[in-house]
């Protein structure tokens, strides 16, 4: 095989590799050596097909879909090494489509080392924060420093999304999937309160709250921020759709924000008044 023919064959293998990744076809492993080396930011370096499978499983937990613009790739070939630059897009596990065209751009660069017609090393250089949820780093690079800035921004964004009717997955994306979430009260009468598990639990809360409650008034009087902790206090009035009864109560929201995500959430209200109105 001539050098040009070998390069063309390897590029065809790379294109097939990305197409298989996009459709979840594990036969891409047929095109790597048994001792393949893999690098991905925050995953680190893996060796062998078992580590490759493990990487795919872990990344897959954060993605609903992934698509590469294969026909738009640029290639640099040097001996047994081929560098690929391109763009990708997808939907996160929280239902957020990316890139957003602002902070996230969907750009990536992969380096492939070949042994014959099999890939023996794949280094993936990309920002693993596909949907731009790592608020700490974003604010730092854009000139905002300190955990208090991030905490305030995340909490403000939470209230903004709730008030503007953003979809439930977008609200849930502000929370860690291991969030400690509790709204105390009579869960036997008030179905949307209590303990929620993960982003799916947060999304279910938002959905059910909007189905059963009509907001009449929501007045936030203060937001107190101390590092990773924030407390919002105020008053609200809500009407229960099924009974027409009005809930009027003071409230306090207690947030803990770490690495740009809410990890602990408490809401305190007049739970007796809420239960009586349902």
For residue 274, is pLDDT > 60?
Answer: yes
Q: State how far Cα 230 lies from the chain centre.
A: 22
Q: Token pair for residue 58?
A: 């872990």
pLDDT for the residue 77: 97
Of 12, 259, 276, nearest to 134 by C-alpha is 259
Q: How far apart are CA 86 and CA 74, in angstroms?
A: 6
pLDDT digits (tens, 9 = 90+) for 130-177: 777 666 556 555 665 567 888 999 999 999 999 989 999 999 999 999
Helix (H) or strand (E) holding 33: strand 32-40
Burial 20-43 (b: 16+ CB within 10 A, else e): bbeeeeeebeebbbeebbbbbeee
Task: Specify the pairing of strand 44-47 against strand 74-78.
Answer: unpaired
Length of the chain (residues):
278
Rounded distance between C-alpha atoms, residue 108 and residue 86, angstroms = 6
Mean pLDDT across the chain, nearest whole number? Answer: 92
pLDDT tens-digit series, residues 56-69: 998 888 889 999 99
Is the pTM higher than 0.75?
no
Q: State how far the Cα of 174 lies from the Cα of 154, in Å rounded to an integer.
A: 7
∠33-37-39 over CA atoms, to 5°? 140
What pLDDT score was predicted for residue 101?
A: 77
* Lowest-confidence segment of 37-46, 108-117, 139-148, 200-209 by average pLDDT: 139-148
What average pLDDT does this structure show over 14-19?
98
Residue 182 is predicted with a pLDDT of: 97
CATH assignment of 3-125, among 3.10.450.50, 1.10.287.310, 2.40.50.140, 3.40.50.10470: 3.10.450.50
Burial class (CB in 10 A: 0-12, 13-18, 19+), 148: middle
Strands (E) across 138-212 are located at 175-183, 194-197
* Three-class secondary structure of residue 23 per DSSP: helix
- Do 17 and 23 contact (CB within 8 A), yes or no? no
Average pLDDT over residues 9-38: 96
User: By the 8 A CB rule, do 228 and 259 touch?
Assistant: no
> Do the Cβ atoms of 243 and 276 come closer than 8 Å?
no
Strand locations in 41-173, DSSP E? Answer: 44-47, 63-68, 74-78, 81-92, 97-98, 107-115, 118-125
Domain 135-277: which topology?
Answer: Nuclear Transport Factor 2; Chain: A, (3.10.450)
Confidence of residue 98 (pLDDT cuts 50, 70, 90): confident
At 145 the pLDDT is 57
Instruction: Return the domain boundaries, the chain.
Output: 3-125, 135-277
Give the whole-angstrom CA distance, residue 232 versus residue 254: 7
Same fold, 3-125 and 135-277: yes
Parallel/antiparallel/unpaired status of strands 81-92 and 107-115: antiparallel
Please report the pLDDT score of residue 62 as a whole number: 83
pLDDT score, position 140: 56
Report pLDDT digits (tens) over 23-32: 999 999 999 9
């Amino acid at each position: 095989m001539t050098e040009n023919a070998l390069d063309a064959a390897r590029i065809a293998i790379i294109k097939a590799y990305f197409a298989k990744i996009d459709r979840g076809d594990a036969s891409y492993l047929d095109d790597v050596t048994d001792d393949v080396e893999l690098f991905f930011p925050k995953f680190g370096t893996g060796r062998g097909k078992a580590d490759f499978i493990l990487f795919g499983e872990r990344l897959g937990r954060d993605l609903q879909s992934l698509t590469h613009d294969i026909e738009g790739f640029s290639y640099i070939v040097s001996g047994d090494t081929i560098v690929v630059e391109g763009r990708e897009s997808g939907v996160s596990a929280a239902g957020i489509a990316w890139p957003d065209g602002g902070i996230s751009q969907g750009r990536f660069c992969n380096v492939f080392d070949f042994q014959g017609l099999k890939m023996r090393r794949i280094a993936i250089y990309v920002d693993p924060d596909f949907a731009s949820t790592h608020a700490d780093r974003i604010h730092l690079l854009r000139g905002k420093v300190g955990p208090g800035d991030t905490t305030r921004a995340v909490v403000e964004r939470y209230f903004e999304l709730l008030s503007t009717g953003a979809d439930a997955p977008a609200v849930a994306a502000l929370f860690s999937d291991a969030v400690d979430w509790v709204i105390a009260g009579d869960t036997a009468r008030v179905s949307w309160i209590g303990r929620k598990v993960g982003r799916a639990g947060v999304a279910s809360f938002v959905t059910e709250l909007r189905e059963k409650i009509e907001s009449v008034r929501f007045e936030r009087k203060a937001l107190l921020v101390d590092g990773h902790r924030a407390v919002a206090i105020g008053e609200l009035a809500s009407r229960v759709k099924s009974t027409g009864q009005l809930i009027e109560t003071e409230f306090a929201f207690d947030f803990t924000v770490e690495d740009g995500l809410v990890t602990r959430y408490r809401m305190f209200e007049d739970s007796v008044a809420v239960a009586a109105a349902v």
